[in-house]
Structure 1
């Protein structure tokens, strides 16, 4: 069941869309104050911990993005950074971005965080997760990765949609299909920050040869991101950060 999140769907959004630009934030007062990165796994997947605001509450209600491998390393990382997590957000459902979930939740102390993913990628989790991920990794000739990392994954607790605002933050969900049907990016207009998942990288873009990939949709998603301000900082799912302007200038 989809949990209702705070959404910005007013005339301001429509006006922005008519002008060909992304809507700006609503002035939530919860601008991103901290982004920490941990690189995990054999293909260098980026796990991000994000804090919005500097209050004690903000330090305990951060976001964890794409826990792709090594639950113990992620838990040590969070402890070292002094960051509490209330929500795990998946930019898409591929196993290299989700494989740490079972062990992470098993070792979690305190209330379990929610797990949020776009509804079109929900089939990569829960009861359908094994067959869906196996089909993907067979298709891209990476069956060894699947067999080495697969463990049953939990069901999502939140199904995201384009335009949702993540609780306690200014991060807006941008549905960016192409790499997968339910790929998302997360955009904070106030701090000019984009979490791009596997849609956009430094010097590259996401592959589009999976079972639910769509090369034309990927190009449309990239065009949407190109409309963001050039100074927008981009934090990708693999590799180092970049900016929209840098990628447009290549």
Structure 2
């Protein structure tokens, strides 16, 4: 019987994977990987390792979750060392819990290898600390993706009145609704908002506004998923401590003059 490792690949910058995660990739016989991982990480796989793409596109899944679960079990039962390589962290909106449950059900040994999640990494690369002694002592991670036909289960009133910093994953298409709900339940309309596209990568872009203006800014700038939405006073700190996009701009300028 083989073993499965549910590995967080981090948010996009391949250097942000953990040492343990990288070792798992190097030792794997089979790697099932998601769409948003940096494929540079696959170059560390050993010769002959089987690489299986099972990413999910908006409205289209290359592999359904049940098929992914079955594949993990099947390869492990063949005695393979299996890595399930997932963007960010396996247990933060990554269905890692569902996969772990499937492995337990079939008696498959497994380990969880945490990864750096986008709510922490993208904000850090945008110069926005999610906590700060003067601005924020609480953070909430929220999914911004609403499935058709599924009852609304986000507790907007609790978020609006009880949380200093709100980090919303994959919520760009629902941004007008998100802002509307937070204002409706008590968040001040002038609350700062940042939207970070392709965080931690060379394609990173960040736009800022308020709950009343950000949807229009995002539309004007053609910001799409994958993006993180950060809501709260900590966004104000970006003006002083943003560093990564300045680094990208400096590198681009140096390249243009060389």
Could you tell me the TM-score, scaled by structure 2's length?
A: 0.30
Greater Rg by CA: 2
Could you tell me the TM-score, scaled by structure 1's length?
A: 0.30
